[in-house]
Amino acid sequence: MEPPTVEGGGEGGPTVGQATGSGPGRILVAVYALLALAATGRSILQISEYFHRAPVAYLLSALAAVIYLVATVALARGGHTAVRVATVSCSIELVGVLVVGVLSYVDTAAFPDKTVWSHFGAGYGYVPLVLPVLGLLWLRRHRQSR
Amino acid sequence: MLLPLSIVLLVLCAVLALGAAYYLLRHSLIDDRLLAVAGLLEVGLLVQLVVGLAHAGDIGGADGATFVAYLFTVVIVPPFVVFLAIKEKTGWAMGVILVGAFVCAVLIGRLEQVWGMAHA
């Protein structure tokens, strides 16, 4: 069941870097891409339709969307720089979901509406909380195996 | 949304997920049969998109915008996960399909929810 981490030679892409985007990484990329899509869609809606309700929360929402996009692309691409970018963006996501998660319980006035990160991502099945952890673990394993 | 259409779509999601799980256990990769199921689901989702857009005006406001956003999002999911699954030559390919089928089902459920709230 456990495929080797170094793949990519199989289909004409002999770069070692592809490894982060294949095997289990393929699922990570898929979930990241879908979350990026969801976050982008939601933040566009929030900012265009009712920005005045909670500017801080909605700007954070937009920031989250951008970071998810960056993480998706970096994980899919692989390679030295991409792995570093992915590590940084996963870390920011983890900090973001934890900080906003706590804030959304403490300061309910600032977060009247669900954003991707509020209540630790409960509105998205806690995927935003779990995903960066899985991402960082995956990146770590990838780094060790090289 | 139209309940019969949603039910058909949810059944297709379930068939796709079960098929992917079966393939996963048998260690097979994506083939024409599974592609056909994904294709059928996609056709259904496109029908939903057309029907949904025709009725999006009934909902209106921010909920209407959410509704339209979901309609478009769900259409992207099957081709995207199939693309990833075709590129992946290990058992994880079926995992991607499973994720995709689940996300489609959730989005179809959400569409039904938003629709229901507007027509309550």
Which pTM was predicted?
0.84
Q: Taking residues B45-50, what's their average pLDDT?
A: 96
Does the CB of B92 have a partner CB in chain A at under 8 Å?
Answer: yes
Contact call for residues B99 and A31 (beta carbons, < 8 A): yes
Half-sphere exposure of A107 (CA within 13 A, CB side): 8
Q: Taking residues B81-103, what's their average pLDDT?
A: 93
The pLDDT of residue A8 is: 40
Is the pLDDT at A29 greater than 80? The verdict is: yes
Q: Which two tokens stand for residue A32?
A: 């990241």
The pLDDT of residue A123 is: 84
Q: Taking residues B79-86, what's their average pLDDT?
A: 95
- Domain range for B57 is 3-118
Shortest alpha-carbon distance between residue A67 and chain B (Å): 19
Q: Choose the closest CB to A41 out of B69, B88, B99.
A: B69
Is the pLDDT at B19 greater than 60? The verdict is: yes
Contact call for residues B53 and B71 (beta carbons, < 8 A): yes
Residues of B in contact with A11 (CB under 8 A): 87, 89
CATH of residue B56 = 1.20.120
Does the CB of B96 have a partner CB in chain A at under 8 Å?
Answer: yes
Does the CB of B2 have a partner CB in chain A at under 8 Å?
Answer: no
Number of domains in chain B: 1
Q: Taking residues A87-107, what's their average pLDDT?
A: 92
- pLDDT tier at A7, thresholds 50, 70, 90: very low
Give the dihedral sign, CA A134/A64/A117/B118: negative
The pLDDT of residue A18 is: 53
Does the CB of B105 have a partner CB in chain A at under 8 Å?
Answer: no
Q: Taking residues A99-105, what's their average pLDDT?
A: 88
B87 Cβ partners below 8 Å, 6+ apart? A11, A22, A26
Q: Would the CB atoms of B89 and A33 count as touching at under 8 Å?
A: no
The pLDDT of residue A15 is: 43
Does the CB of A27 have a partner CB in chain B at under 8 Å?
Answer: yes
Q: Would the CB atoms of A33 and B88 count as touching at under 8 Å?
A: no
A37 → chain B, closest CA residue: B73
Report the alpha-carbon distance of residue A63 to residue A86 in Å, rounded: 15
- pLDDT tier at A108, thresholds 50, 70, 90: confident
A27, A40, A50, A127: which to substitute to probe chain B, counting the most B Cβ within 10 Å? A27
Contact call for residues A32 and A72 (beta carbons, < 8 A): yes
- Put simply, the chain B residues between 65 and 84 with a CB less than 8 A from any chain A CB are 65-66, 69, 73, 76-77, 80-81, 84
Residues of A in contact with B84 (CB under 8 A): 26, 29-30
ipTM surpasses cut 0.90: no
Residues of A in contact with B88 (CB under 8 A): 22-23, 26
Shortest alpha-carbon distance between residue A63 and chain B (Å): 19
The pLDDT of residue A4 is: 38
